[in-house]
Amino acid sequence: MRTSVIVQNLKCGGCANSITTKLSEIKNISDIKVDIEESKISFDFIDENNALLVKEKLKNIGYPSVEEENTMLSKTKSFINCAAGKLA
């Protein structure tokens, strides 16, 4: 199945690289696409639990979904992951 998540703090290709790298670590998640313009991450998943893991992973690396609080910690994590994604 395929789904999408709209996230906060997604600014550039560095963010997209970090998101793709981190989400690729989750089993049964594939075909990850990051749309920077729409702040949307789309992916294929096998099990509903895998999709929930994606949402949790995004929050943990600083890209919470739009329905979640965007704390200073989230903004800081996204900044760090963005920089790491630019260096990758």
CA 35 to chain centre: 11
Measure the CA–CA gap between 41 and 48, rounded to whole angstroms.
16
pLDDT for 81 equals 92
Tokens of 9: 């703090």
Mean pLDDT of 13-19: 96
Residue type, 20: T
Closest CA to 21 of 64, 78, 65, 81: 81
CB 87 within 8 A of CB 37: no
pLDDT digits (tens, 9 = 90+) for 22-75: 999 999 999 999 999 999 999 999 999 999 999 999 999 999 999 999 999 999
Tell me the pTM: 0.94
* Predicted local confidence at residue 87, as pLDDT: 87
Query: 16 near 7, Cβ under 8 Å?
Result: no
